A = this chain, B = another copy of it.
Amino acid sequence: MAKYSIGIDFGTLSGRALLVNVETGEELAVAVKKYPHGVMEEFLPDEQSLPIDYALQHPQDYLDVLRETIPAVLKQANVSPEDVIGIGIDFTSCTVLPIYQDGTPLCFKDEFKKNPHAYVKLWKHHAAQEQANRLNEIAEMRGEAFLKRYGGKISSEWMVPKVMEIVEESPEVYQEMDRFIEATDWVVMMLTGRETRNSCTAGYKLMWSKREGFPSKDFFKALHPLLENFIEEKIGTNILPIGSKAGEITEAVAKLTGLKVGTAVAVGNVDAHVTPPALGITEPGKMLMIIGTSTCDILLGEEERIVPGMCGVVEDGVIPGFFGYEAGQSCVGDHFAWFEKNCVPKEYYLEAIAQGQKIQDYLTKKAALLKPGESGLLALDWWNGNRSVLVDVDLTGLLLGQTLTTKPEEIYRALLEATAYGARMIVETFIENGVPIKELYAAGGIVEKNPLMMQIYADVMNMEIKLSGSPQAPALGAAMFGALAAGKERGGYGDIFSAAKAMAKLKSESYKPIQENVKVYDKLFAEYKKLHDYFGRTEHVMKRLKAIKESLKGV
């Protein structure tokens, strides 16, 4: 009898469940549930307004995903719950909420319904920038060793800036909450009835390492006196490695979802970090680019190396037994969307409509007719700062080489190329710092939608790029970890390597570098690198312009 696993991918706007055959990896059913509250950026549910840079979610929405999508995939696939051996989830991160001991979110209580700090702070909640700046300053002054594992800088998106915001702005929420927990761990808690913490979010978002543990009490005290015992009181120090079993489906959840009591549940995981096994990546030397509005790069290594500008390196953070490296580009799909919205003349829209094409397809078609180097344009892909390798949110964009005959599709192509150069900078930096990269893989919607971009990536990096065979790669990865949590004896797997071997999928086609293009792109990349280092490291004109801009606010 075939066995199945369910992976649930909790995204920014919706959750999607995927039901997979454990033996073959066959994807039998998908169900998507949009979060009823979406992203709350301006108002709480009661219409109380929010400060700027807020991005909150309602935890009830995640429970709705479980209640609707699990029965839906069981029904669609016509699979008996008896044959579902495991469940794994992945989530955006750091997406975090304050809860009581029993898992109840503070925002479920009437007395906290009007307090924004009682809700889920979504990964892209950016209101804790001031706290992050302070944290970085203090950590640097104290010479905290953990900094080097995070490219020298902790992001305002991570957990500690978010809890600093609470303790400073709403100490009553801080006092009231028993635990502060990643949404991925919270959903696992809801499924299993017990609290676990996973090594991925602990490592990448909470400065934990397997060998050194968490930052010291002294450090937390320096951030805020009330935070001295933050780890002991609100987090806990029992961190389970990725690939562990967190527990089993409870009776309540069985009722809610139709799953059997006792079905195995994997420890929580993160969308990008759960994906490599879905493409069969379970060993060092293979970098996976998950390309969307931004790009997240995941890579395994045998050793801990300090690589400039990486987002983090975490032992057991991606695949047990390896150091998981994360890097990223903060502006990829967003870059092209900005261009399409702001810089495409009306004639192009009219022409696209006349040809029955989407504007991005029309632009791509025109840009694809150009040869590398033909436009004379070069861009730096810093419209949203630079995550790796410079780790600098204050950097801004640059486009160079325009003439009076420059055409929109030439600029569009220059922006595509710029992100490819950015990707090559990351690859070269890893290699130069002792973390080998021998193969490239890509996943994400844009990978399917923009073949020109993928060919440019292959040409710029002079490497073949293999593609995810599943359009639901994160959910597939989560389902693999579900099968792993079930274990061999229940029909699952004893390790992620065998799970990946059986269930992973790659497209049969890949993008291979065209040597004629490689030659030109090598020259153009040399120019990119020069501009990259000049504006990123030497001449801080972008920062000074930003400072002038800031100084004008409220004038």
Q: Which residues of A contact B (CB under 8 A)?
A: 331, 334-335, 338, 341-346, 349-350, 371, 373-378, 383-384, 396-404, 406-408, 520, 523-524, 527, 530-531, 534-535, 539, 541-542, 544-546, 548-549, 551-552, 555
Contact = CB atoms under 8 A, between A and B. Distances in A.
Nearest to A380: B400
A338 to B, nearest CB: 5
Contact of A402 (B344, B399, B520, B527): B399
B397 A384 contact: no
A517 to B, nearest CB: 11
A548 B373 contact: yes
A316 to B, nearest CB: 35
B373 A549 contact: yes
Interface centre among A338, A530, A545, A546 (most CB of B within 10 A): A545
B376 A548 contact: yes
A349 to B, nearest CB: 5
Contacts of A549: 373-376
B408 A402 contact: no
A113 to B, nearest CB: 32
Contacts of A375: 549
Interface centre among A344, A403, A535 (most CB of B within 10 A): A403
B541 A523 contact: no
Contacts of A406: 338, 342, 383, 397
A542 B398 contact: no
Contacts of A376: 396, 545-546, 548-549
Nearest to A343: B343
Contact of A545 (B349, B378, B397, B551): B378
A404 B546 CA distance: 14
Given A371-B555, A398-B398, A331 B545 contact: no
A373 to B, nearest CB: 4
A342 B374 CA distance: 18
Nearest to A527: B541
Return the 7 tightest CB-CB contacts between A and B, nearest first: A397-B402, A346-B346, A376-B549, A373-B548, A396-B401, A398-B400, A346-B349
Nearest to A334: B404
Nearest to A396: B401
Nearest to A409: B342
A545 B404 contact: no
B407 A403 contact: no
Contacts of A531: 541
A345 B341 contact: yes
A244 B371 CA distance: 56
A341 B346 CA distance: 9
A397 B546 CA distance: 21
A520 B404 CA distance: 29
Contacts of A396: 376, 400-403
Contacts of A552: 371, 373-374, 520
Interface centre among A344, A404, A539, A542 (most CB of B within 10 A): A404
A520 B548 contact: yes
Given A376-B546, A552-B373, A408 B541 contact: no
A46 B373 CA distance: 39
8 contacts: A331-B404, A338-B404, A342-B345, A371-B555, A397-B406, A399-B400, A523-B548, A531-B541
Contact of A397 (B345, B346, B403, B524): B403
A213 to B, nearest CB: 38
B345 A346 contact: yes
A430 B522 CA distance: 42
Contacts of A545: 373, 376-378, 400-401, 524, 527
Interface centre among A349, A531, A541 (most CB of B within 10 A): A541
A400 B541 CA distance: 9
A409 to B, nearest CB: 10
Contacts of A402: 383, 396-399
A343 B404 contact: no
B404 A384 contact: yes
Given A345-B346, A375-B549, A398-B400, 4 more contacts: A331-B404, A342-B407, A377-B545, A396-B400
Contacts of A342: 345, 406-408
Nearest to A535: B400
Contacts of A524: 545, 548
A530 to B, nearest CB: 6
Contacts of A523: 544, 548
Nearest to A407: B342
A527 B544 CA distance: 8
A182 to B, nearest CB: 27
A344 B542 CA distance: 24
A407 to B, nearest CB: 7
B548 A539 contact: no
A403 B408 CA distance: 18
Nearest to A528: B541
Contacts of A331: 404
Contacts of A404: 331, 334-335, 338, 383-384
